[in-house]
Amino acid sequence: MPICIRIADGALAGSEFAFPDAQAAVTVGRHPSCDVVYPADDVRVSRYHLAFERKLARYRLVMQADNPVWVDGEEAFEGDELPLAAKVALGHPDGPTLLVETTEDDDLPPTERYARHASPGQLAEKAERISRAVRRLSLFLAVAVAAVVAVGLWAAMEGRRSQADLAAAVENATLGSQFEEELAAQLRQAAASVYLVAVQDEMGLTPLGTAWVAAPGVLATSAHVADAFLKMDGVKLVVRASGTPVRDFAVTGIDLHPQFHPFEQAWRRYGPIAAGVGGDDRVIAEAGAYDVALLRVAPAEAGKLAPPLVIATDAELRALEPGHLVGYVGFPVESAALGGINPDDPEAQLQIGRLTALTDFFLVKSAPADRQLLQHTLPVQGGASGAPVFDRHGRVVGVLSGGNLVEVVPNGVRVPSGIGVNFAQRADLLRELLAGGAEAKAGERETYWQQRLKRYRTEADLALRDWASGHGTTQPPVPVLQTSGHTAYDRRYDMAVFVQPYLLGQDGWYLFQATAQGRAAPDMMVVEETRGGPKMLGINASANRHPGVELNGDKGAALKVVVAAPAGAEVNLRVFWLPVGKGGK
């Protein structure tokens, strides 16, 4: 019974394909090896979407669970028999459509037609519809009838529901296993395009992270991996492919995401604190943001890299949900036995897990466009950073960037925490870096960070709260001055300082509070300009990151606030005032 397939719509509309009885199966998809090949960019169709398998002179459907098919407007199932003439839609009821006809190839009289039997998949679907209807009916009866009758009906239906739930659990477990195997196959196929990132000198090679081919001549990795190399001297950066012999490609250019350093600096400058019950406050560590980078190889070498991996579209990224399967291919090496890999032939590790949450970089489930931090259960360790994170369809949805690791003192070894949640950067950050459009979003994003950061307290805020409390008020005052500047060498103080003149506007208590860029601990002193020369009113040279100097001043006093920190450091200064006698002080 020959089969004839005609494409009904799209770029290939009108194309016809005919296959003889001798062909056991006819495959449909975007992969070049398929018998009916759709364009590579028609992502509505899977690589191997569907096959028509010939059995007993009829054709039956062979499908993947995540690639739906509709036949004559009804959802089809694995093993369904294809009618002699059918309209087959791929992906959606209104998706790419095939018109399929099969014809008898002999002169025998037609067979007597019997009642058509449903396939196992159709029977299961029908049973599920009946089960849902029965459950709705049982709920209605339970409310409407008398209590004794309702209890009896509930008990009867509970037994049926338990059986249905058990069947559903078995089905879900089977599908989950099937999806995991499909993802594992995608990971194995993608491994050829994943490379070890390493620094190299005359002494040898040291693994640094993972990279993967994102475009011709361009590999993607984590920004913190590339940035670590930029801080080194006397070494070169290479990406190494597995194989015998191994092949190294020298990295000739590096592009960090333009918001990688600014976000890190904004976070450190602000110094967020989580305020706990009873004053149990703790410093909050960032999860990493805009942590993507590009590595470029010489144009002459570009064609020797493996093929680029497919990056998910915006629509596919928006479809991600907690619980979805994800996997990665990478080179975790930190604290691993035998160094994690054999550098002479590095073999990548394949891991499968699930998404746990999709949030912004402050762990807030914000607008979908800002949910660029993928949280997941994939295990991470140093060396895996930069690995591609795939959805179950084999598309890259993220770049592995970090995790919840605990540093064991005093040896500094990092081990995974018991949380089991780690991080990846959503793939649209990488796409905008490839397209050169990331810089244009800087202002909008920095405004967003400041709004989110204001939800946290800082160490300086806690110090202010304590100061106000010591003067009898539970409500910290607002600053009467808030300014910033950079330190520069001043010969009067023989060091790099930031100097801010300040005239006391009222009598009362004043708190002068400073912070410096990064985690530096600045020194601060307050002096009064008098006819006899500078008079020291207060000094704080402790190791505190937010030094404060308090004084009880008189209106009209001319002061100078001097903050000492490394040359060029940005300094933020705040001045607060409380009236004398507040709370009896």
Using the 3D structure, point to which of 452, 474, 504 is the last residue of a domain.
Answer: 452
pLDDT tens per residue, range 57-102: 788 888 877 789 999 988 888 888 899 899 999 988 989 999 999 8
Q: Is residue 570 part of a domain?
A: yes
Same domain, 446 and 476: no
Long-range contacts of 437-446 (CB under 8 A, 24+ apart): 438/257, 438/258, 438/259, 438/290, 439/258, 441/259, 442/258, 442/259, 442/262, 445/259, 445/263, 446/259, 446/262, 446/266
Q: State how far the Cα of 38 lies from the Cα of 49, in Å rounded to an integer.
A: 10
**Domain contains 515:** yes
CA-based nearest residue to 89, from 78, 100, 103: 100
- Whether 151 is covered by a domain: the verdict is no
Is the Cα dihedral 337, 339, 343, 348 positive or negative? positive
Distances (CA, A) of 570 to 2, 458, 464, 547, 565: 78, 17, 21, 15, 9
8 and 84, same domain (yes or no):
yes
Q: How high is the pLDDT of residue 276?
A: 60
Q: CA-CA distance, 429 to 262, in Å (whole number)?
A: 15
Residue 154 token pair: 């509930």
Contact 207/370 with Cβ under 8 angstroms?
Answer: no
Residues of the chain with pLDDT under 70: 1, 105-176, 244, 274-283, 406-414, 417-418, 517-520, 581-585
Specify the CATH number for the domain of residue 77: 2.60.200.20
- Domains: count for the chain: 3
pLDDT at 205: 87
State residue 275's pLDDT score: 62
Query: What is the helix (H) or strand (E) element at residue 572, kind and residue range?
Result: strand 570-578
472 near 582, Cβ under 8 Å?
yes
* CATH value at residue 559: 2.60.120.380
Domain end among 452, 471, 487: 452
Please state the separation of Cα 164 from the chain's center in Å: 36
Does residue 417 sit in the same domain as residue 462?
Answer: no
User: Does a structural domain hold residue 228?
Assistant: yes
pTM as predicted: 0.59
Q: Rounded to whole angstroms, what are the CA distances from 39 to 28, 31, 34, 171?
A: 11, 9, 11, 34
Question: So what's the pLDDT on residue 122?
Answer: 55
Per-position DSSP letters for 309-343, written without gaps between them: PPBPPHHHHHT--TT-EEEEEE---TT-GGGSS-T
The residue among 218, 212, 210, 192 whose CA lies nearest residue 303 is 218
For 317, how many CA atoms within 13 A lie in the half-sphere containing its CB?
27
Distance CA 337, CA 351 (A): 17
Chosen domain end from 86, 106, 126: 106
Identify whether residues 477 and 555 lie together within a single domain: yes
pLDDT at residue number 325: 96
Most distant pair of Cα atoms in the chain: their distance? 124
Asked whether residue 364 falls in the same domain as residue 472, the answer is no
Q: What are the strands of the beta sheet with 523-530, ordered from one edge?
A: 488-490, 495-503, 558-564, 523-530, 533-540
Q: What are φ and ψ of residue 295, in 5° steps?
A: -115, 130
In a domain, 169, yes or no: no
Amino acid letter, 283:
V
If asked whether residues 415 and 487 sit together in one domain, one would say no
Q: Of 309, 403, 388, 390, give the one whose Cα is nearest residue 353.
A: 390
Q: Tell me, what CATH number does 414's domain have?
A: 2.40.10.120
448/461 same-domain check = no
DSSP H or E segment with residue 26: strand 25-29
pLDDT at 342: 83
Task: Output the CA–CA distances (angstroms, integers) from residue 231 to 153, 155, 295, 357, 545, in the order listed.
Answer: 72, 69, 16, 33, 25
Q: Does residue 379 sit in the same domain as residue 485?
A: no
Q: Is-cis flag, bond preceding 110, omega within 30?
A: no
Same domain, 267 and 362: yes
**Residue 497 in 3-state DSSP?**
strand
269 and 389 fall within a common domain: yes
Do the Cβ atoms of 522 and 563 come closer than 8 Å? yes
Same-domain pairing of 529 and 433: no
> CA-based Rg of the chain, rounded to a whole angstrom?
33
Is there a single domain that holds both residue 206 and residue 306?
Answer: yes
521 domain-assigned: yes
- In the three-class reduction of DSSP (H, G, I as helix; E, B as strand; rest coil), residue 404 is classed as coil
Residue ranges making up the domain that contains 529: 457-584
29 assigned to some structural domain: yes
Angle at the Cα of 362 from the Cα atoms of 358 and 366, rounded to 5 degrees: 50
Query: Domain for residue 177, yes or no?
Result: no
Pair 52, 26: CB distance under 8 Å: yes
